């Protein structure tokens, strides 16, 4: 005999308050993280946003851009960054490059002249305006220290870069168990009203030729390292990768792999690596559309292009075009 106590709720009991909330309630709080298409990203209290990508894809640059711009557009909000690979001065170098438009190389090697002075001053002024609301976790890079720092700093946003290197409390059998435990705790952070941005490493996958690679089209929810709880525990999951894996360009695709509360929507971005800036852009044309002649031939391979031209020449529209050009 089953002695477990049953706990459930009939829909009729919650229908009235739910209906009132739908019709007159307040929407969830979401922090603005950027202009244009970037404004579609949902970052806010109670949400865990997961970002992954291959080494060098720009994960740190992108998430730091989001964090700094959230502070710029949300007065009073405090953000805490735990980055296990880059100290605060390096992260600030990158943000100064982005905000000033002066190359990161010039800033890193302190090769700044009079020509850059005004832009550097503007970038510094922007960072100074948020400096007292931006905190950095110092070692040890443990989740216990992150929690203590977030509590003392009164952080409303926590950025973890990256999760596989931040140890949770307690003993765990392997790396997978450790990452799962970390995500469990981050879920509790979010449930307490904190916005959480998580950066994750990804594993290699097989490309179209069967080679082990970080090809973007092969990356998916299972690509997050020691995944399991990562994809289940987050509210939104993204993979950042070059738009065309065969080309070394600046166009990037932010693939939206999971959305717990809304619609999945990929974003296309231009990554200016010299100044570490991501800017929304229009998606590239589909490969089948890049050559109109080849596209027409594929649409009807039995009809040659010359025949299509001849057919067009006999239409009334073609006659109108000729008249208009005269």
Note whether 109 and 43 are within 8 A (CB): no
pTM: 0.83
CA-closest candidate to residue 60, choices 19, 115, 98: 98
> What does the pLDDT profile of the chain (326 residues) look like in tens digits?
677 888 899 999 999 999 999 999 899 999 999 999 999 999 999 999 999 998 889 999 999 999 999 999 999 999 999 999 999 999 999 999 999 999 999 999 999 999 999 999 999 999 999 999 999 999 999 999 999 999 999 999 999 998 999 999 988 878 888 888 999 999 999 999 999 999 999 987 766 666 666 777 778 888 887 766 788 899 999 999 998 754 556 999 999 999 999 999 999 999 999 999 999 999 887 766 555 544 444 444 444 445 445 544 554 444 444 444 44
CA-closest candidate to residue 162, choices 17, 63, 235: 63
What is the H or E stretch that residue 253 is in? strand 251-259
Local structure of 261: helix, strand or coil: coil
User: CA 14 from chain center: how many Å?
Assistant: 35
Note whether 46 and 190 are within 8 A (CB): yes
Residue 271 β-bridge partners: 278
Cα–Cα dist 162/205, whole Å = 20
CA-closest candidate to residue 94, choices 297, 284, 279, 272: 272
Cα–Cα dist 309/316, whole Å = 14
Enumerate residues 6+ apart whose C-beta is below 8 A from 200: 50, 51, 52, 162, 163, 164, 224, 225, 230
Q: How large is the angle between the packed helices 88-100 and 117-130, nearest 10 degrees?
A: 120
Note whether 67 and 157 are within 8 A (CB): yes
Handedness of CA 218, 256, 33, 30 (dihedral sign): negative
CA 268-234-89 angle, to 5 degrees, is 65
Burial of 293 from C-beta contacts in 10 A (0-12 / 13-18 / 19+): exposed
CA 68-70-73 angle, to 5 degrees, is 110
Query: What is the 8-class DSSP label of residue 70?
Result: H
Q: Could you tell me the two tokens for 47?
A: 């949400």
Cα–Cα dist 138/140, whole Å = 6
CA-closest candidate to residue 235, choices 257, 202, 205: 257
């Amino acid at each position: 005999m089953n002695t477990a106590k049953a706990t459930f709720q009939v829909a009729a009991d919650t229908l009235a308050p739910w209906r009132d909330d739908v019709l007159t309630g307040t929407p969830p709080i979401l922090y603005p993280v950027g202009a244009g298409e970037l404004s579609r990203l949902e970052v806010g209290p109670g949400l865990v946003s997961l970002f992954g990508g291959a080494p060098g894809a720009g994960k740190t640059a992108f998430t730091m851009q989001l964090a700094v711009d959230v502070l710029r557009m949300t007065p009073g909000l405090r953000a805490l960054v735990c980055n296990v690979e880059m100290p605060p001065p390096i992260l600030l170098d990158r943000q100064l490059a982005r905000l000033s438009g002066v190359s990161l190389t010039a800033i890193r090697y302190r090769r700044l002249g009079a020509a850059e002075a005004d832009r550097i001053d503007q970038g510094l002024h922007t960072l100074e305006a948020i400096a007292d609301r931006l905190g950095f976790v110092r070692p040890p890079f443990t989740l216990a220290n992150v929690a203590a720092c977030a509590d003392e700093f009164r952080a409303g946003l926590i950025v973890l870069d990256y999760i596989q290197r931040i140890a949770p409390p307690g003993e765990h059998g392997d790396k997978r168990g450790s990452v799962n435990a970390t995500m469990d705790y981050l879920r509790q952070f979010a449930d307490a009203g904190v916005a959480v941005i998580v950066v994750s490493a990804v594993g290699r996958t097989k490309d179209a030729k069967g080679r082990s690679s970080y090809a973007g089209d092969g990356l998916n929810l299972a690509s997050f390292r020691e995944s399991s709880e990562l994809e289940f525990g987050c509210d939104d999951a993204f993979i950042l990768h070059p738009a065309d894996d065969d080309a070394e360009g600046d166009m990037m695709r932010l693939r939206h792999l999971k959305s717990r509360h809304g619609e999945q929507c990929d974003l296309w971005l231009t990554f200016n690596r010299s100044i570490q800036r991501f800017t929304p852009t229009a998606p590239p044309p589909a490969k089948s559309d890049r050559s109109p002649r080849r596209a027409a031939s594929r649409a009807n391979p039995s009809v040659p292009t010359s025949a299509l031209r001849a057919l067009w020449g006999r239409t009334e529209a073609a006659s109108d075009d000729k008249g208009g050009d005269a």
